[in-house]
Amino acid sequence: MTKRNLVLSKPFQRAYKRFVIKNPLLKSAIGESLLKLEENAFAPGLKTHKLSGNLYGYFACTCGYDCRIVFSIEKNSKLKGEFILLIDIGTHDEVY
């Protein structure tokens, strides 16, 4: 797998701030998951899976107990590569 850069959307940044305030103990687990996601979005520990319904076309991975990151893999035509656009973070019920 090739390494993909992470791009944080504005909604993700806001959701991250809210989530970490409510769940400060998960901050390091989220950081580790983001590093793994950057290295290999489909690493077994992340439990990455495709989403359906309103979130069709997106992926989600886990970053600890009841913590999900929603993202998409986008093409970068200028660099002829791909990047990961982080969409949302929160509990299962918050992001789905």
> Is 95 contained in some domain?
no
State which residues form the domain around 40: 5-82
Q: Is 3 in contact with 36 (CB distance < 8 Å)?
A: no
Tally of domains within the chain: 1
Q: Which residues contact 85 (CB under 8 A, 6 or more apart)?
A: 7, 9, 71, 72, 73, 74
> Once rounded to an integer, what is the mean pLDDT over residues 45-72?
95
Element (H, E) at 72: strand 68-76
In 3D space, the residue among 74, 36, 70 whose CA is nearest the CA of residue 50 turns out to be 70
| pTM score above 0.85 | yes
> Is 96 contained in some domain?
no
Residue 35 has a pLDDT of 96
CATH label of the domain that carries residue 46? 3.30.2310
Reported as a single tens digit per residue, the pLDDT across 6-54 is: 999 999 999 999 999 999 999 999 999 999 999 999 999 999 999 999 9
Residue 1 has a pLDDT of 58
